[in-house]
Structure 1
């Protein structure tokens, strides 16, 4: 879709996320708003993990997925590997999903890979239709999905059912990939048979059999559903995916985020884990404040001055962990508590970079050390580059230790704005398209996406 037309549509259809989502990604979203104007990117975000005529039509409350052309059966999707040679183009005014994905100048805008089977992947591509009639603002662009269960030896092409540019992909279980737009309250389930399904939302209290089915979401049933708050008024909370019902169950409770008045982020731990619920509270005076729930009451701990901070992801059960950095300091501090906040331990680790909380995340490795992710690593906030550049750092959790650079790449690492920084399954750590099987010491990038 042309740049101006896309921006006009997004301004009417995209709703800003809850305050909690804005706080941690505000810096990223400022840059991506500039990129949207310069490059007609997906991003508006304000995130990833992230349309065109193929992604819906103006005025729809919820864009619906359309079948690829030619239309495959839901149980027998079209898995052609090469473009058709019968005709130059199926339409002189549009593009098929296959034409979009295989275009020489197509741009990769979203990726997702199954943590259970790396050959199961989904990608979103955007391309300009060079044969379509030119309007007063240029030629239209379109977006389409490429889905595979065998590493793109075969591919299913689908029209993109979303267009906000705020989507990211999660891996909730074998044979499933979940596309989440946490800013607007929409989800789509991609299955390894090549189908993609829009998910209904409700507030039903259904038990989750697998902790991986939980994910952070918008506490709303959608734009118009009875009883559901519009996205601007809904906080972030936890949802449970119900694949059998093609539904998402929104769960409200003390684990959810709050508004600007208190700045409480959703619990780092899902309510389905049965573990201690804890998280971070934003402070306007540059301090790190931890919160946790005990005996039905929210407790707080001020952990001191902080320029950049956050929760340490993938923490062991029963352990609260936070990282903090003060501007100008040569060390990053890790605070942990294993006794529900009664005592706290502090470990200082040397850093040779600035761990800004807009672009930095920290997680435990399977062996109990730390791995950090620094996005937008090579470009200043004023740059027009979109999420380019990534550095991965690793540190042994011992006093006096230091973070060591273990991977870096300047390009090819575009991520969705809300992309989870790390995901751990067994001994494998995922960081978007990168993975490590040796506790974060070395990393491999998945490069095949069509």
Structure 2
């Protein structure tokens, strides 16, 4: 394969940058030159992947540790109003500015192709204005509209027959074109700002028509009778943390001892965006305080004590950072708010899940966990302690959850996500056309 020059672009969000880093690392290892336009907080990760770092323009960069500080329009908004504000402020309105920065990068770097995460809409504008081959890396559950699925965000199950497909067509029109008419209008204004025809494309339809990499397996996604030909399932994708002693908390021996004794070890985590401890971590610690399990929580111990209004339960072990690569093989179950990457990592290890997804697209991820049989969907982002306790007991005791999670782990083990994704990007660069069908040598 000739050496390629690849331009990569990501929005400044941890859950988008880390999966991309695994793919970029594979591309660099295959001898390609990569220039990656990313947020300044991620410079070290970009350089570690082997790519050259191109800082984002300041007016498109932000700190994802506090989105409301970066985007005051989100403050006080809940439900549908927050989703609309989130899409407009974080993803659509910056698109013309992202496009200008990518134009400048192209003039300097002369790339053969563009690879961007699904939220980076400046990439879509660049593809249309320059004709540069463009690959999208999905960052969450597959949300492309289809009559086989209800509107993304509704968390409804997939269609089971002609009647439900007809209902989905009506719901998609009502929700995606009706309730989100303002979002679509914002996207049309972004297109107009860079000189493109306004058209009738919805925001929810924006994706590369040439190559879309979905970092999971078919067994986790809703079945579609007509999957777009450019969509490829590549398996879970993230940088693998070395399972080394570095970074392990002082209480690590307690986890290893529990594992040896057959005592369940349960992780509770809220990811990187939803960080209010009273949403999930505090209720879970209360719920499991009297259970014969060891609970690991990824949170600051002092902050958790404040959230609990007292001492941390004796069966809990807390740390702001825990090396997942070392921890996951020792776990029995995971309680999570439904971050896509974290859910995929848990399933790679065959771990049943309890999911409390209430923000962003997390209800859709929680619904897929329940649909796949690999866990329990609590159907709220702020569950009661009783609900968490009952759900954890179920996934630890009822064998079906472990069996389905194990089956997904077997399916995921068949994929080399980074290698397959890299080869698909190479195919796009070589053909400059839709990448459809399996590559030679793929099962």
TM-score between the two structures when normalised by the length of structure 1: 0.25
Task: Name whichever structure is richer in helix by fraction.
Answer: 2
**Structure with greater contact order relative to length (CA < 8 Å, sep ≥ 6):** 2
Task: Name whichever structure is richer in strand by fraction.
Answer: 1
TM-score between the two structures when normalised by the length of structure 2: 0.26
